[in-house]
């Protein structure tokens, strides 16, 4: 499909309780590359196969969670048009100047009905993917830890997921790929949205706790790499929430675990190709467990309740 507006998740800023310990975790265990720090002390990271300067920013804070979620748009014309569309929809926007984040251009920031802060940007320095653009090799030598391919998606929670779903579909051009219905058989308990041909780029789950994060997800290439991620987590005594196992929703394979600050992250592989002429896959409330964890059909209480 032609990606002409919002094209993919680009970055997010995560709050951590101990910045130095978190830097060690995200470099040695997760295998991300530290790209630098800014004047305020924030640390910037990229996955080795990502080409833009960074996708994850860590900030020292008193409580864990996510400050904002950034999507990259096709170009500056698209950024201007989407900003105009947001305002026409009644959404207040704010321009964040270039350079506020390292190697990043101007950003347009707005708040969703679920209380989350999103931003859109068109420009970020291309630093390459460790293999180069001219006659590249096909693998990156000396990878450390889990070493995912990219920051892939987020699952976030809030009360007004209908408003956020409509904002993302009617204004930002996302499609609904999958949904879980509530007991009434009509209302959405959760929706998986895509701006590309992936099964999802973001998921919203109905929850009275606005502006909360369930997990950020990193993409791996194969089921075997998901199993290796479990071995790495075991070796480093990382607390695993669920997995390794398979989702019914999106059909991906997965592990959920927690970083040292209590932020949940996912190592994810698979899924299916989505195209905008496809109808959403629908899961009924009584099949939620099977939809989320296909093998066991069960959800533990921690997975259902813990957010940051």
> Which residues participate in catalysis according to the annotation?
153, 200, 215, 247, 256, 266
8 Å CB contact between 65 and 112: no
In this structure, the chain runs to a length of 308
Cα dihedral: 282, 214, 169, 179 (round 10): 0
8 Å CB contact between 8 and 51: no
Tokens linked to 242: 């669920």
DSSP three-state, residue 262: coil
Cα 109 to Cα 216: distance, rounded to the nearest angstrom: 20
CB atoms within 10 A of CB 207: 19
Tokens linked to 224: 């075997």
Helix runs in 129-211, H state only: 161-170
Which residues, 6 or more positions from 58, have their beta carbon under 8 angstroms from its beta carbon?
13, 14, 15, 16, 19, 22, 23, 26, 42, 43, 45
> Distances from the Cα of 215 to the Cαs of 152, 155, 171, 195, 239, in angstroms?
11, 5, 24, 19, 14
Cα 32 to Cα 148: distance, rounded to the nearest angstrom: 8
* Upper half-sphere CA count for residue 289 (Cβ side, 13 Å): 8
8 Å CB contact between 213 and 156: yes
CB atoms within 10 A of CB 77: 11
8 Å CB contact between 60 and 16: yes
């Amino acid at each position: 499909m032609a990606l002409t507006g919002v094209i993919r998740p680009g970055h997010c800023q995560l709050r951590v309780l101990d910045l130095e310990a978190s830097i060690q975790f995200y470099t040695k265990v997760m295998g991300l590359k530290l790209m630098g720090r800014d004047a305020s002390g924030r640390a910037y990271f990229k996955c080795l196969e990502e080409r833009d300067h960074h996708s994850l920013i860590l900030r020292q804070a008193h409580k864990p969670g996510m400050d904002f979620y950034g999507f990259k748009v096709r170009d500056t014309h698209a950024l201007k048009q989407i900003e105009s569309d947001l305002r026409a929809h009644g959404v207040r926007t704010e321009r964040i100047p270039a350079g506020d984040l390292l190697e990043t251009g101007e950003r347009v920031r707005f708040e969703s009905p679920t209380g989350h802060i999103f931003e859109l940007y068109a420009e970020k320095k291309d630093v390459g993917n460790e293999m180069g653009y001219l006659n590249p090799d096909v693998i990156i030598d000396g990878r450390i830890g889990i070493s995912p391919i990219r920051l892939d998606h987020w699952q976030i929670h809030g009360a007004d997921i209908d408003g956020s779903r409509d904002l993302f579909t009617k204004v930002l051009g996302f499609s609904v790929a999958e949904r879980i219905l509530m007991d009434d058989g009509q209302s959405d308990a959760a929706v998986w949205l895509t701006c590309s041909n992936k099964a999802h780029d973001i998921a919203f789950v109905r929850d009275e706790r606005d502006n909360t994060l369930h997990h950020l997800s990193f993409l791996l290439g194969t089921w075997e790499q998901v199993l290796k991620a479990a071995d790495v987590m075991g070796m480093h005594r990382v607390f695993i929430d669920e997995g390794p196992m398979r989702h019914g929703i999106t059909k991906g394979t997965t592990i959920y675990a927690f970083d040292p600050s209590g932020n949940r992250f996912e190592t994810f592989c698979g899924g299916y190709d989505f195209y905008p002429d496809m109808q959403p896959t629908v899961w009924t409330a009584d099949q939620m467990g099977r939809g989320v964890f296909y093998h066991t059909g069960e959800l533990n209480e921690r997975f259902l309740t813990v957010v940051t």
